[in-house]
Amino acid sequence: MSATPAVVSIGANDPWNAAGVGLDLLVLRDLGIRGATVLAGVTAQGPGGIRARWPAPPEAIVAQLDALAALRVGACRVGLLLDAESVRTVAHALAKCDAPVVVDPVFSASRGGRFADEAVVDAYRESLIARATLFTPNAHEAARLVQYAVETPADAERAAHDLLGFGARAVLVKGGHVDGDEVVDVLADGSGITLLRDRRLAVAMRGTGCILAVCAAAALAQGHDVAQAVMRARHEVRARMLTAIELGGMRVAR
């Protein structure tokens, strides 16, 4: 294991470890970085979608974070939060965090079902986006946050700019859900907007958003800036999509 400080993954589980905190630990292990976890919720989901979900009590989230007080933290990655109280609890805790924070909002499951009601979306706007060094919504998540359709790269540029207004230092609106032969991700920060283009791969895989976010957090923990972290994370996602395996009717990261 390298001397890179640990990355803390805050979010919910996926019993298959095809997403969520379990997948984060697998990816961090592959990168040679120590992972730590704060379980903010439990889900029962799989190839058929979401069966059940249970948010952790706020005091359980806080106690887990407090238990990591002696850990040398290089970055935090925030994933699935199941209710508005969890969002506010994590936002309040991260106000005291000096390490970079990557926030990846998860509003629905790729295999079907919605995680986030409007109270959750409001809580992101009101408290959690402002804690993000890098905020990484996909087009559908960005659309719910900005309250207009995000269906083209131009829409994504507008959304990225508007999401900066909620206080994030940088925003990456991911273009995988936008139609076109290319995937166009839009990175916005205080210096402007950058379009990141790649040929669309003819494969799908669960957990791509989790992998991108945790890889970006790992790169930030290693001392890279946001733009470098995003480039490294995007490369890792594409590499894992090309080597994904079939598991229970899903394509998942190896």
pLDDT digits (tens, 9 = 90+) for 35-82: 999 999 999 998 888 899 999 999 999 999 999 999 999 999 999 999
The pLDDT value recorded for residue 114 is 76
pLDDT-flagged residues of the chain (< 70): 1-2, 109-113
CATH of 6-252, one of 3.40.1400.10, 2.40.50.100, 3.40.1190.20, 1.10.357.140: 3.40.1190.20
Residue 53 tokens read as: 């979900």
Distance between CA 196 and CA 136 in Å, rounded? 14
Q: Are 176 and 186 in contact (CB under 8 A)?
A: no
User: How many of the other CB atoms lie within 10 Å of CB of 246?
Assistant: 8
User: How many of the other CB atoms lie within 10 Å of CB of 31?
Assistant: 20
Mean pLDDT of all residues belonging to the chain: 94
What is the domain partition of the chain in residue ranges?
6-252
Strands 182-189, 6-12: parallel, antiparallel or unpaired by DSSP? unpaired
